[in-house]
A and B are shown apart, each in its own frame.
Chain A
Amino acid sequence: RKEVEQDPGPFNVPEGATVAFNCTYSNSASQSFFWYRQDCRKEPKLLMSVYSSGNEDGRFTAQLNRASQYISLLIRDSKLSDSATYLCVVEYGNKLVFGAGTILRVKS
């Protein structure tokens, strides 16, 4: 089983749509959870940390279910600028383990 598993997509959505990404992880000892965003041939950039209580940052909402080892990201009112690869990331110790990413394409 892959350490961090994501649906690779691509998700093709119109502007204004709501889109949800899911991720599962295999190591129950994982300590911290993140969503990073990566634009083509660029470095990963932190989008948001993910907490069991759920957290929201503007149009983005992240949720963690430790019992199911499941992480989600919801993007509301999609913008063209949201087009990118979204990386589910889990931390073990001080090392980050990345999923392969989910591609989002927002079209006008």
Chain B
Amino acid sequence: EPEVTQTPSHQVTQMGQEVILRCVPISNHLYFYWYRQILGQKVEFLVSFYNNEISEKSEIFDDQFSVERPDGSNFTLKIRSTKLEDSAMYFCASSGTGFSDDTQYFGPGTRLTVL
């Protein structure tokens, strides 16, 4: 069964450093997403991406965040200058067409720890 993969599984960084989280969505999917989950809290939407541009973003997704699809398979989330409060689990998801009733499949997540 096709699945979304993410690397690394755990990233530890110092405050102020840049991090790049990587995702390989399901190969024939067209829509890509990032969500985050702070420990003990709910899953929160960050951004959706389609046709090489952001289609929607949340208030959390400020200028410190950016996304990119550098080639035909990878989808990345960059945090330019990490803060302590960026510590969370980051989930990548992908879906086929992005219309209603189109299931989003989640990757296993990257646990980001900012020290």
Identify the A interface with B (CB < 8 A). 31-32, 34, 38, 41-46, 49, 87, 91, 93-101
Q: Which secondary structure characterizes the binding site on chain A?
A: strand
Secondary structure of the B contact surface, majority rule: strand
CA distance A98 to B101 in the complex (A): 16
If A43-B109, A94-B31, A94-B48 touch, whether A99 touches B42 (CB-CB below 8 Å) is: yes
Using CB atoms, name the residue of chain A closest to B47. Answer: A95
| C-alpha spacing A99/B100, complex, angstroms | 18
* CB pair B106 A31 closer than 8 Å: no
Contacts of B58 in A (CB 8 A): 95
Q: Is B107 a contact of A96 with CB atoms below 8 Å?
A: no
Residue contacts A-B, CB under 8 angstroms, 8 given: A43-B91, A43-B108, A46-B105, A91-B100, A94-B33, A94-B48, A94-B98, A98-B44
Contact of B43 among A31, A44, A46 (CB under 8 A): A44
Give the distance in Å from the alpha carbon of A46 to the alpha carbon of B104 in the complex: 8
Asked if B56 CB lies within 8 Å of chain A CBs, one says yes
Tell me the smallest distance from the CB of A91 to a CB of chain B, in Å.
6
Q: Which residues of A are found within 8 Å of B106, using beta-carbon distances? A: 43-45
Chain B residues positioned under 8 Å from A38 (CB to CB): 43
In the complex, how many angstroms separate the beta carbon of B98 from the nearest chain A beta carbon? Answer: 4
Given A44-B91, A93-B56, are A49 and B101 neighbors across the interface (CB < 8 Å)?
A: yes
CB-CB nearest in chain A for B105: A46
For A32, list chain B residues within 8 Å (CB).
Answer: 100-101
Q: Do residues A97 and B45 form an inter-chain contact, with CB atoms below 8 A?
A: yes
Query: Contacts of A91 on B, CB cut-off 8 Å?
Result: 100
Residue in B35, B56, B89, B111 whose beta carbon sits within 8 Å of that of A94 in the complex = B56
CA distance A99 to B45 in the complex (A): 12
Q: How far is the CB of A86 from chain B (nearest CB, A)?
A: 12
Within B71-115, the residues touching A (CB, 8 Å) are 89, 91, 93, 95, 98-109, 111
